[in-house]
């Protein structure tokens, strides 16, 4: 049986210049094919590195010794100017107090209370897709629109009655896309391990749009402080009230803004990618799509999905899980070792780069049966899967704080669309998995759309 789109992993050493070329074209091209068979690989390409695919070693890095393996300098150089010392990049106590303050914001109750926004976005997306019946449309572009509506509605929701100026969604989205496009590609200095203080020319002139976005966000936060919470609290209201139970510290305007921008960037991009790849996979496997459509139609009838429907949509959820396995948005993570250690008998020195190739982990032949195949049934019993063999949201203390939000949104939107439309592949238009900062479908996800 043919496999859905995948990345051609290399079988010969790349060297420094080859690694630079690969990283700028598609970060996943840095992964050798051997990474889908071996538990660990090590080498020197400018600096010492270790590529880890063993679940127990990953548990050691992400949970047991998390403080000895902070996020790499390259990650911080790329994202720091946009999201500051927010939860995603902060370390140590500065990360810890923010995490303690923000954790209650993402309880099941609070995430469920935001579900109506997701249901409304699913309805709006359906209306736009209906305009393309009988022809092809780029579902990646549509999913970006839908998920950005959700994240902007649950962060800086407009409040005209209170005199709010509103939040310019198009401007914010444009600033994010421009920033990522200009800064996310790896430079030769990154490959060589140059210190953070050495300027990366490609990143020096990419902050103008981000500065304007921060200014707009600061204004919206200060307006909300002055006007008070909305009748139905949104994410901004919840974070304004958030307090570290240990120190009683609350977030300043700058800290609120950086974390909200983190949630906006991560919260819509990753879910849009998950939905886009899920729709492609459903088009790739019409029988599975038909089964999921039957499930969705029997539960939903002619309405959009709600949070109450989630327990009755197990196949839809398994499709989301399998899409996250085959195309994890954060498909290539890196850490910088801070202390001497040993991983599977390999010596780790302070300063070594430790790579967590989630793409290879999720397609590892020792961990998954026919790993390149689309098979949602493998998630029928999640207890049968090693916790550290499947890491779409990471794990340990730094597991993605918005994982339940993303999964809830993805199932609500996917079930609604599968109940109403049939998606088919367009010959010659299969997406190409390319990772720069996230694993995107290069060329979009073009699918033929017909009535269900």
Active-site positions read 270, 393, 400
Name the nearest CA neighbour of 242 among 223, 227, 229, 231. 229
Classify residue 201 by burial, with Cβ atoms within 10 Å: 0-12, 13-18, 19+. Answer: exposed
Region of 345 please: left (phi>0), alpha (psi -120 to 50) or beta: left
Distance CA 394, CA 384 (A): 18
Distance CA 220, CA 240 (A): 12
CB 171, CB 212: distance < 8 Å: yes
Instruction: Please state the separation of Cα 350 from the chain's center in Å.
Output: 28
Question: How far from 238 is each of 98, 113, 221, CA to CA, in Å?
Answer: 13, 12, 12
| 282 labeled part of a ligand binding site | no
Instruction: Please state the separation of Cα 244 from the chain's center in Å.
Output: 26
Name the nearest CA neighbour of 297 among 413, 417, 390, 196. 417
Q: What are phi and psi of 339, to 5 degrees?
A: -145, 155
Distance CA 380, CA 421 (A): 25
Sign of CA dihedral 439, 444, 447, 449: positive
Buried-state track 60-85, b at ≥16 Cβ within 10 A, e below 16: bbbeebbebbbbbbbbbbbbbbbbbb
Buried-state track 339-361, b at ≥16 Cβ within 10 A, e below 16: eebebeeeebeeebbbbbbbbbb
Q: Binding site for heme: which residues?
A: 400
């Amino acid at each position: 049986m043919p496999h859905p789109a995948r990345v051609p992993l290399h079988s010969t050493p790349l060297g420094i210049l080859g690694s630079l070329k690969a990283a700028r074209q598609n970060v996943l091209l840095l992964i050798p094919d051997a990474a889908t068979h071996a538990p660990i690989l090590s080498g020197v390409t400018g600096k010492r590195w270790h590529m880890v695919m063993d679940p127990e070693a990953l548990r050691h890095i992400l949970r047991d010794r998390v403080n000895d393996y902070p996020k790499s300098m390259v990650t911080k150089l790329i994202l720091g100017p946009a999201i500051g010392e927010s939860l995603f990049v902060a370390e140590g106590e500065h990360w810890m107090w923010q995490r303690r303050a923000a954790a209650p914001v993402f309880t099941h109750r609070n995430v469920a209370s935001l579900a109506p926004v997701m249901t409304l976005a699913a309805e709006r997306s359906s209306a736009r897709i209906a305009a393309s019946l009988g022809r092809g449309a780029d579902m990646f572009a549509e999913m970006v629109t839908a998920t950005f509506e959700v994240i902007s509605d649950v962060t800086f929701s407009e409040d005209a009655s209170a005199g709010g100026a509103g939040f310019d969604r198009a401007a914010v989205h444009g600033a994010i896309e421009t920033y990522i496009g200009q800064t996310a590609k790896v430079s030769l200095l990154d490959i060589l391990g140059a210190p953070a203080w050495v300027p990366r020319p490609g990143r020096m002139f990419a902050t103008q749009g981000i500065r304007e976005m921060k200014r707009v966000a600061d204004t919206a936060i200060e307006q909300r402080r002055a006007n008070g919470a909305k009748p139905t609290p949104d994410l901004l209201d919840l974070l304004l009230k958030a307090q570290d139970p240990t120190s009683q510290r609350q977030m300043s305007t700058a800290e609120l803004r950086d974390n909200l921008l983190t949630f906006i960037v991560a919260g819509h991009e990753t879910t849009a990618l998950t939905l886009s790849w899920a729709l492609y996979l459903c088009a790739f496997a019409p029988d599975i799509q038909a089964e999921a459509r039957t499930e969705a139609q029997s539960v939903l009838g002619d309405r959009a999905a709600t949070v109450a429907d989630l327990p009755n949509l197990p196949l839809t959820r398994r499709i989301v899980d399998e899409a996250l396995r085959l195309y994890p948005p954060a498909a290539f993570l890196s850490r910088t070792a801070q202390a001497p250690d040993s991983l599977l008998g390999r010596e780790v020195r302070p300063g070594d780069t430790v790579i967590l190739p989630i793409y290879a982990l999720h397609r590892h032949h020792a961990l998954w049966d026919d790993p390149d195949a689309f098979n949602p049934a493998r998630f029928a019993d999640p207890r049968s899967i090693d916790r550290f063999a499947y890491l779409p949201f990471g794990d340990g203390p730094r597991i993605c704080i918005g994982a339940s939000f993303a999964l809830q949104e993805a199932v609500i939107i996917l079930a609604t669309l599968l109940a109403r439309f049939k998606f088919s592949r367009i010959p010659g238009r299969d997406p190409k998995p390319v990772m720069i900062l996230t694993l995107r479908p290069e060329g979009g996800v073009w699918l033929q759309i017909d009535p269900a």
